[in-house]
Structure 1
Amino acid sequence: MSRRIRPGAAGLLAALLALHAGGQEEGGAAREKIAAVLAAARSQIGVTTVYDGSYRRLAYPGGDLPAERGVCTDVLVRAFRAAGVDLQRLVHEDMTRAFSDYPNLWGLAGPDPNIDHRRVPNLVAFFRRQGASVPVTDRPSDYLAGDVVTWRLPSGLPHIGLVSSARAPGTDRPLVLHNIGRGTREEDVLFAYVLTGHFRYFR
């Protein structure tokens, strides 16, 4: 026996169905962007082989070093651009709006689009300000493909990487795409250093 839906309930049902469909659409778009980001990060393996953190004048927006050069942050910057996200531009615009909310570690009086997006503490501040923070845990399943993680290295320096969709052989631990001085690589380093941040920009 079919049940008749009251007129008011029909409108509510339509709204709920539309909301549900919208959520699916957003999830699908996020998955496509994550796939593009991971593919772009992997494409740097064997190409970006020289670790180069020197200050350089870059084009803006969309500026970059030669493809064979870069640091850990450049892995993310290049990969995110494949999903239409220019961290150079976004970080610069956000720092222009809220410079005092970013770390004052380099003695600068204002934003610098040549270098700001290439500094781990600035990316951490940006992701936090975008509401992208998620908990740091010791559970591999909490780290999803496309997530960004940061560490403190034994030297005390910060480091950043991109969680991969691949797993370490025989485990459920995701690999990480990063550049720690030997060029861009996809390695089992998620828990190799002290984790200090965990961010999910694409949702």
Structure 2
Amino acid sequence: MLVIGIGFFYLRPIIPFLQSQRAEATTVNKVKAIETLQNSDEFSKKLAAAALKRTAEDVEYDPGYYDIAYPGGDLPANKGVSTDLIVRSYRALGVDLQQLVHEDMSEHFRLYPQLWERKGPDRNIDHRRVPNLQRYFSRFGKVLNNSHSLDDYDIGDVVTWSLPYGAAEQAGSHIGIIVPGPGARSGEKWVVHNIGSGPKWEDKLFDYEIAGHFRFGPIRESMTAAADTKSGATLSN
């Protein structure tokens, strides 16, 4: 009994640590979450898995304008902002938001926010702007409540936020994807987003003012570029 008591005395400080590890955004918990989500037949779950995979990438926050290929164009893999995380996550599932947004803006340019003194669509940058993605998702996806109830949010939903002025690109516009929490917190709604330090898996859904809440899946195959399209990019001055 003495040995057991001594063992418990020394192990007791470790128990809270082990419990916390089961609830943290560790690599082990990330791998488990991705595996679970990928085994689902639901597009939304696979989208969440694709977003979580993005958190393994080292991405420098770069809102610069790039000349990129079309369709399937992208910045260098180590560059990007919050919208690029969304575009790359969808593209991993064969949905090319660059092409989809450009096609719709080409037909209905005046229905999109007129914030950049442009006279027409620009396939290099339009899909990389939060207001444009918001408008596209509102036109072709499901618009949901901007509530503060976790029950109103599902895995794979897209959320946009209004941040304090200057906190991110585009005068405070920000965007992310709803994913499950890690380990013992898997029943919670976390987000994958890039607010300046690369793609992160964080419990920050309600940390900022929610501006939009959408659910968007593929429309039709003919409107998407192949998921394995390889394209380069050139930075423009």
* TM bucket, shorter chain: 0.7 to 0.9
Indicate the residue corresponding to 2:135 in structure 1: 125
Indicate the residue corresponding to 1:192 in structure 2: 207
Indicate the residue corresponding to 1:174 in structure 2: 189
Deviation at 1:34, TM superposition (A): 2.3
Q: Which has the higher contact order (CA 8 A, sep 6+)?
A: 2
Question: More deviation in 81-90 or 116-125?
Answer: 81-90
Deviation at 1:170, TM superposition (A): 5.4
Letter in 2 for 1:185: K
% identity of equivalent residues: 48
User: Structure 1 residue aligned with 2:74, among 64, 69, 78?
Assistant: 64
Question: More deviation in 154-163 or 108-117?
Answer: 154-163
Unaligned runs of 5+ in 2: 1-39, 166-170, 219-237
User: Structure 2 residue aligned with 1:114, among 111, 124, 132?
Assistant: 124
1 CA distance for matches of 2:64 and 2:215? 28
SS in 2 for 1:159: strand
Question: More deviation in 36-45 or 55-64?
Answer: 36-45
User: Structure 2 residue aligned with 1:144, among 154, 157, 163?
Assistant: 154
Q: How many residues align?
A: 174
1 CA distance for matches of 2:190 and 2:199? 13
Deviation at 1:167, TM superposition (A): 5.8
Indicate the residue corresponding to 1:183 in structure 2: 198
SS in 2 for 1:57: strand
Letter in 1 for 2:164: P
2 CA distance for matches of 1:122 and 1:36? 24
Letter in 2 for 1:91: V
For the 8 Å contact 1:91–1:117, the answer to whether it is kept is: yes
TM-score by length of 1: 0.80
1 CA distance for matches of 2:197 and 2:132? 23
Any idea what the Cα deviations from partners look like across 1:56-87, whole Å, max 9, x if unmatched? Answer: 00110001111111100011100001222100
Deviation at 1:36, TM superposition (A): 2.8
User: Structure 2 residue aligned with 1:79, among 78, 83, 89?
Assistant: 89
Deviation at 1:113, TM superposition (A): 0.5
Indicate the residue corresponding to 2:42 in structure 1: 32
For the 8 Å contact 2:87–2:97, the answer to whether it is kept is: yes
For the 8 Å contact 1:168–1:175, the answer to whether it is kept is: no
Runs of 4+ in 1 over 3 A off after TM superposition: 167-173
RMSD of the TM alignment (CA)? 2.0
User: Structure 2 residue aligned with 1:163, among 178, 183, 186?
Assistant: 178
2 CA distance for matches of 1:176 and 1:127? 18
TM-score by length of 2: 0.69
Unaligned runs of 5+ in 1: 1-29
> In the alignment, is residue 45 of structure 1 matched against residue 55 of structure 2?
yes
2 CA distance for matches of 1:57 and 1:110? 16
